[in-house]
Structure 1
């Protein structure tokens, strides 16, 4: 593809350094980036605008992508923490710069390349071949006015992707770099550690009130009161609705008669068979042999041998080991000719020879269970409960819809609920933990939703599960504030003491690292735990022990064999003094086996770094302005 593009623009890669992240049209949709939006732009590049409408489309498609990926864990707060708005606009800027530079050079992707990309795309294929009708439908569903518009957008993406790949693929790696990368990944080490448990030093940690107050002053963010919410709520509970419902026996009898088939078990039969297997398209010779086999079985049964004995001896079916027993089955389960014979027999009968697509059979009817209908009296109470629950669920849903309609006419949840004679519950300010004690807020999802809501937001009616609906209106939100020292003095004292114990643990681990004594001696001397790893690689492969953290491995793989790691390290068990016991170099045959994959990974990483530098240098040639005030609206 790149060679074809070179043929249409001689030496264009050598003329200019292009950079940018090529966002696909699947994400961004259709159209020019610069549509003449009359509102203030989100950003400009050399005074050319990225409009609000376009940014809105791109940003929301990014949000939708994260929603699908994260499910219930998705939140706007999380997206804000990922700086998604800024990332989106900067990516759009990068794409514009690449398109603009390419246009200045008169670069295009040949039509043949575009058509090849379209026709080889599995999304546009049916039965492994390009389907023009499917192509038109899908491109229209993607928002393109015509396939030609899709191809124009694709032409840009092909060009941009080819440039990006050309830059990244130009990265070269030396044999030494490959060897160093391989050694870094495949070298193994055995590590040991003495881990000092800070809890073991709590008694030695001396902290007075003044120290606790100093700790509090420097860590006030840890002593904030929780968010508290004051709200009104309404519960629509099917159990309460059902309590007032009455269904008399006459109505239940009518429902029973209408659904009698649900309470009727069809006749079923238990049969055994003997099979002389032969396919329908077998030769005449094979069919005659199979027929002779089943006739011999028939003769033995007529002579008085038990059916099961003959089945075990002759049958070609897996059921032979069970005497040909097929178990219980209802009419219509077996193949038609077999089924017809079974359901025309009397208990204990043995059939004449029956032919099916599987071969020749002899069938014995072992038992019959007649059709049975459960009496009304046996199902009446269960039917009453089911009917009441169903009607209560329907009525509960209807009430929720009535409440939703009432909210459109009344100013508050309280007024809307009272217009429908629904009970309103007033909940005084509670924290999210305290809310667990509130029956209406016990459900975790309901609590989460309530505490994500601010006063003045629209009343929501939530599906709380099991047919329940809960509507709530937040009246007041009391934001966190620093609690007075007097209220948290005990907690601050404990926290300061634990911090002091941790400092003592670091000091003790540092002392251990200065020793040349054996690990066993050190563990016994200081009364702390000893740990020894299995052979482990820098990525953790080989030993999943929790004390082998990513930071610990990173530092331990920089230290020489027989030495302590330069600093004491925090691990889940405490503060670790770590020593490298052994370094195991990877074998040469492993290098040869992994060389290709290591080279590919290394080239990819260097290519990405080169492309990032490239993009940064190109951006310097453009005046890029992001309108933060406009961006904050989204």
Structure 2
């Protein structure tokens, strides 16, 4: 078990926030379970589970303390995420069929601007390859994945950006947005009925018996745990001046400003006409036609063709290997390569500029050298200790003591938490799931190694456990009594409020019906701050009619409110600030674009051959 976990761990420990669609499907093994097929393209169980985890993480960030792991751990959530993966596959396929393309220049720019591939704010080739390797990619496989993802985004932007918003639509919505309504209202206060409500012990006892789930202290558990942290290990790494000097010498290329070359290219598709087109371009170059003109005429890389084939600055280990080798083989600015074949077609490349690398002295980068050296040493120790932690806690499943003593770790204890989670390590869904698993809760064994983050691991075991317990009646009786009093007072306010509402509708004077609480009519906008938001909401729901419109509702505080809308003034379009108009147009365009995209996806789905293997989806639980 431990060896299997470590094999997975080494591949997946350090990940990067690609924020891309379906990237992980490229690292699924050939025997991965298939949960769906979209026009023959497979969606794997690994891709689904990883997408579900990304969704959970997003919801945890959005909901904060309100996040409940159990809400996002069911078959319904997996189907929602699977639908999204299917949509993504349909979009990528449609983009390809429509002939949309992502240029090499766009790929290079995206990679160079990705923070995960940078050191000190600058793209670093070694960092790039290290991060990809730990995520299970080679530069070639990642760039192919990235190209697919950017292609899908390009199609979405094309569809959503094609929508138009008419001036009539803008003006109509501006008038509604700036509309004002003349609102008057009266209040029947809950507090006026509190003295008239009586609650006896039998009522309280009946409510308690009927709602025992509301008066039960939840099941709770606390954990003992070992935590392995890369940051903690880093602080313990000791280094000498000699070690740093040697590391600088051995890795000098990292501390040299990388050579950059600027290049342009003409990309020709690989088909039966390629040889003829390449010969035609060569002839025109010999006749003196400029490279830029030929790129604009012949290149199928639309992203760079418009700028004469310019790809911008290029560093080593970023572009496709054959292409990159050709760029750095050119000796002089202006030189043009022979045709270079890659998976994208044939490239004719022109070198347009060279920015030579520059040496950096050890003293100038000593701090950076020390940081990298410590990090490298810490990572090696981290990987070794991670495997040892997994082995020791598995081989000694009834104690953490042996692993703690061997690895020099302290056994920590969490606070109590419920199945909904808690603070500290209990914020992590996998920790909560492990804590209440049969192995940990009932068998009292150590958990497997759990990943809190890319650089923090824990193993947990039960410290203490308390079953769900019904609270003593006497401890909750006072609160129930007050709750019943307020509810009954609110009910009485509702009855009287409804009666007064009917009086107003029958023509009675408002000041007679509400002698103490009637607020005279005043014009309010949708965003007015000097009136209750609930009153505004109800008032703007009423139909626009020639006569006064009445409505009543129970407010959140238990009072009953009767409102009267006597006039409606449409908003003035002329007085609208340009910024507000522009914002409305932008929001409408975005909304219409999403509607268009939804319709487009519905069409793609109706024409697609989609097969979902439901038993595999519902069993897609992480072991």
- 2:3 match: none
Q: Check if 1:556 corresponds to 2:540.
A: yes
Task: Determine the C-alpha separation between the residues in 2 that align with 1:567 and 1:183.
Answer: 26
Q: Secondary structure at the match of 2:515?
A: helix
1:109 aligns with 2:78: no
Q: CA deviation at 1:153?
A: 3.4
Q: Scaled by the length of structure 1, what TM-score is found?
A: 0.49
The Cα of 1:95 is off from its aligned counterpart by 0.9
Cα offset for 1:493?
A: 5.2
CA distance in 2 between counterparts of 1:118 and 1:578 reads: 59
C-alpha displacement of 1:589: 1.3
Deviation, structure 1 residue 150: 4.6
1:615 match: 601
Aligned length: 406
State which drifts further: 499-508 or 589-598: 589-598
Q: 1:566 Cα deviation (Å)?
A: 3.0
| TM-score normalised according to structure 2 size | 0.50
Taking the aligned partners of 2:28 and 2:78, their CA distance within structure 1 comes to 20
Question: Distance between the aligned counterparts of 2:123 and 2:617, measured in 1?
Answer: 42
How far apart are the structure 2 equivalents of 1:196 and 1:209? 28
Q: Structure 1's 491 and 121: CA in aligned 2 closer, same or farther, altered over 3 A?
A: closer
Tell me whether 1:55 sits opposite 2:48 in the alignment.
Answer: yes
Aligned partners of 1:41, 1:515: CA distance in 2, in Å? 67
Q: Could you tell me which of 582, 601, 605 is aligned with 2:587?
A: 601
CA distance, structure 1, for counterparts of residue 412 and residue 19 of structure 2: 48
- Give the 3-state SS of the residue equivalent to 2:486 in structure 1: helix
Verify: 1:88 aligned to 2:88, yes or no. Answer: no
> Cα deviation per residue 1:100-130 (whole Å; 9 max; x = unaligned)?
4455xx44334xx52353466595499xxxx
Task: Give, in whole Å, the separation in 1 of the partners of 2:127 and 2:21.
Answer: 16
**Which has the greater radius of gyration?**
1
Of 575, 580, 597 in structure 2, the residue corresponding to residue 590 of structure 1 is 575
- The CA distance in 1 between the partners of 2:138 and 2:393, in whole Å, is 44
In 2, the alpha carbon distance for the partners of 1:42 and 1:412 equals 37
Does structure 2 conserve the Cα–Cα contact (< 8 Å) formed by 1:190 and 1:535?
A: yes
Pick from 85, 95, 98: which aligns with 2:91?
98
Q: Determine the structure 2 residue equivalent to 1:201.
A: 193
2:148 matched to which residue of 1? 156
Provide the alpha-carbon RMSD of the alignment.
5.5
**What's the CA shift for 1:94?**
0.9
1:303 paired residue number: none
Q: State how far apart, in whole Å, the 2-side matches of 1:46 and 1:623 are.
A: 6
- 1:185 has 2:174 as partner: no
Report the CA distance between 1:152 and its aligned residue.
3.4
CA spacing shift, 1:617–1:487, aligned 2, 3 Å: farther
Task: Give yes or no for contact 1:108–1:159 (8 Å, CA) kept in 2.
Answer: no
How big is the shift at 1:157? 3.5
Call closer, same or farther: CA 1:457–1:183 in 2, change over 3 Å. Answer: farther
Structure 1 CA distance, aligned partners of 2:151 and 2:488?
A: 61
Secondary structure of 2:170's counterpart equals: helix
Q: Which residue of 1 aligns with 2:620?
A: 631
Which structure 1 residue ranges, 5 or more long, are not aligned?
1-23, 127-132, 235-402, 433-442, 461-470
Equivalent-residue separation in structure 2 for 1:633 and 1:152 (angstroms):
28
Contact kept, 8 Å, 1:458 with 1:473, in 2: the verdict is yes
Alignment of 1:122-521 (within 5 A): 123-124=112-113, 134=123, 140=129, 141-142=131-132, 145=137, 149-205=141-197, 215=207, 219-229=211-221, 453-454=435-436, 455=441, 456=444, 458=446, 474=462, 477-480=465-468, 492=480, 494-516=482-504, 521=512
Cα pair 1:67 1:74 within 8 Å, conserved? yes
Deviations 1:168-187 (A, max 9, x none): 34444444432332122222
Q: Which residue of 2 aligns with 1:524?
A: 515
3-state DSSP class of the match of 1:222? helix
What is the DSSP-based 3-state SS (H/G/I as helix, E as strand, rest coil) of the residue aligned with 1:566?
strand
Alpha-carbon deviation of 1:61?
Answer: 4.2
Determine the structure 1 residue equivalent to 2:556. 571
Contact 1:114 1:154 in 2 (8 A): no
Aligned mates of 2:424, 2:521 — CA distance in 1: 42
Q: 1:222 to 1:188 in 2, by over 3 A?
A: same
Distance 1:411 1:41 in 2: 34
Label 1:532 to 1:446 Cα distance change in 2 as closer, same or farther (>3 A).
Answer: farther
| 1:586 match: secondary structure | coil
Alpha-carbon distance change, 217 to 88 in structure 1, aligned in 2, over 3 angstroms: same
Instruction: State the SS of the aligned residue for 1:95.
Output: helix
Contact 1:509-1:577 within 8 A present in 2 as well: yes
Shift, 1:479, TM fit: 4.1
CA contact (8 A) 1:34 1:50 kept: no
Q: Deviations over 1:414-433 (max 9, x none)?
A: 9889999xxx9999x9999x
Query: 2:559, 2:74 → 1: CA distance?
Result: 30
Q: Which residue of 2 aligns with 1:436?
A: none
Kindly tell me: are residues 481 and 567 of structure 1, through their superposed partners in 2, closer, same or farther at Cα, counting changes over 3 Å? Answer: farther
Which ranges of structure 2 fall in alignment gaps of 5 or more residues?
A: 1-16, 116-121, 227-388, 449-458
Q: Check the 8 A contact 1:552/1:569 in 2, yes or no.
A: no
User: In the alignment, is the contact (CA less than 8 A) between 1:224 and 1:483 conserved in 2?
Assistant: yes
Residue 505 of structure 1 aligns to a residue whose secondary structure is: helix
Q: Secondary structure at the match of 1:590?
A: coil
